[in-house]
Amino acid sequence: MKHCLTIAGSDSCGGAGIQADLKAFSAHGTYGMSVITAVTAQNTKGVFDVQDINPSVIAHQIEAIFDDIEVHAVKIGMVSRPETIEIIASTLKKYSLPPLVIDPVMISKSGYDLLQPEAKKALIEILLPMATLITPNLPEAEVILGYAITTIEDMKKAARDLHKLGCKYVLVKGGHLVDDATDVLYDGAEFYLYESERFETINTHGTGCTISSAIAANLAKGLHVKDAVKEAKVYISNAIKHGFSIGHGVGPVHHFYELYKKAGVCDDRK
């Protein structure tokens, strides 16, 4: 069994962050491990408070994993402060890194800033160049690049510009497009488009965390980036299609729909 590590924030309602990452790892038949960067107080209605973890504790979590267990892929999510970004980068550089997927989490669906403004520079200059793949959605790509992205051609331009920051691959996710949900992958030379049906649902909590973790799990299992993204796109589309309500706001995607279906306990609540 392959071992996947997520470095991200905790979501108390379980739909995004560390919890979503571990569910996605498990759904892909890999063993999930975690380094918690922050604890959030949130539910389906929003994020209400954040407590960042001390940088030394973050470093010690990373060291505890790498000093004992082989890691086949790493996913990085919420890293809200410059100090957090700096300690993650410096600690990871001590080791021979497996594929690294970075999901540049910046703003929650309820509009809460999950990346402090002063951390943007550190994210761009320190962390993104280390990535095998980065997976920004359109608002995140707009924040990083400073211009609007509304069409597929805009996404291709954004992918080129993001690639210049030093990562090997860029996946610009099109979930915020008006007409479709096409994602654009760029490897520095060619573009690959991944299309999917758009589902009419509000239950999309954890979408970005989940697809980036699914990609990381696929990379851990030896898939090429193009195939890892293709398989993850199918997985997240199915998870979104069968997302369900657990509270009074934006419910989670269904990480285990296929497994629940096979077990005869599938619940299609909307």
| Helix orientation angle between 225-241 and 207-220, rounded to the nearest 10 degrees | 140
Name, in order, each residue with C-beta under 8 angstroms of 198's C-beta and a sequence gap of 6 or more. Answer: 179, 180, 181
Rounded CA separation 247/258 (Å) = 23
> What DSSP character marks residue 164?
T
Is residue 251 flagged as an active site residue? no
Catalytic residue among 14, 17, 174, 206: 206
Q: Tokens 């922050």 belong to which residue?
A: 38
Rounded CA separation 172/159 (Å) = 6
Catalytic residue among 2, 75, 173, 230: 173
Catalytic residue among 204, 233, 243, 251: 204
Catalytic residue among 4, 13, 167, 209: 209
Is residue 2 flagged as an active site residue? no
Catalytic residue among 208, 210, 233, 251: 208
DSSP labels, 214-255: HHHHHHHTT--HHHHHHHHHHHHHHHHHT---SSSS-PBP-T
> What DSSP character marks residue 268?
-
Q: What's the CA angle centered on 114, arms 110 and 119, to 5 degrees? A: 150
Catalytic residue among 40, 132, 135, 207: 207
Rounded CA separation 96/118 (Å) = 29
Rounded CA separation 28/213 (Å) = 9
> What DSSP character marks residue 115?
S
Rounded CA separation 184/171 (Å) = 6
CA 176 to the chain's CA centroid = 15
Is residue 209 flagged as an active site residue? yes
Is residue 208 flagged as an active site residue? yes
Catalytic residue ranges = 173, 204, 206-209
